Amino acid sequence: MSPSGFIVLLAVMAESLAAPAAAPPAGFPPAVSEALARTQDFAFNFDQPGFYALVEHVRAAPLSADPGPGPLRIDDWSVLLERPADHRGRLVTVTGVVGRNKDPFALASRPDLGLLTQVELRGEGQPIACTLIFTQDAASVPVGATIEATGYFLMIRQYYGDSGQARPAALIVSPGPTLIERAAARPTSKQSEQTLAWFFGALLVGLLLAVVVLRRGTRAARVEVGALHASRPAPLSVADDLARWAAEQERGRNGGA
């Protein structure tokens, strides 16, 4: 996070913490509403009564039974960061790309709530991340897939990113994704390196073979003329014998005369 972004985050945190807690939406059981009212934003964990109450509520009642006005689509996640108390307990719908999908886990303090799946979403141009806690099994959702999910917004939490800096994320409790668009398979960096290694290896072998063939052709063209030999003896010539026989015949005729 840039220094200016960090300053903005501090200002938002100060304003949020100073603002009075907003009443949760109507329709929740009294115990859930009370737990939501005690939720603290910008904590580094969500081990809070409001989280347990929402998970239990989502498991017990389908979202379609919510008496509210219906899900609020959140295209700009910064509104959750700027006014978390105003959206606490609201049904919201978000769409993003899966950056991480953790293995299903059970809460040590509340094993009765069953297995949960934590999926981290990122969105292009979004100033914060989005943490989805699914009460259904979502372990098969691949990293890189684009998903849509509807659930109850709980809080803005903080976590430490890869750089070691604290980053905010919206926490939403949902039954599971309502839409999954799997990303096209892309070769990993390791696979790309292996492919390049094979390509350059094959190219090198081809060059070596070409050099060997050219050298052999050059050696064959440089054979000394004096070192040439016939592959088989030349045929016998009878010209000398014929000349010798003709001379003898001529002498015989002259002597007889």
Distance CA 174, CA 147 (A): 13
List, for residues 175-231, the tens digit of each pLDDT value.
999 999 987 655 555 555 666 676 777 777 777 777 766 776 665 555 555 555 656
Distance CA 39, CA 130 (A): 17
pLDDT of residue 146: 98
Name the band, by pLDDT with cuts 50, 70 and 90, for residue 11: very low
Percent of the chain's residues with pLDDT above 90: 54
More confident residue, 228 or 137: 137
Domains of the chain: 3-181 (2.40.50.140)
Distance CA 191, CA 118 (A): 28
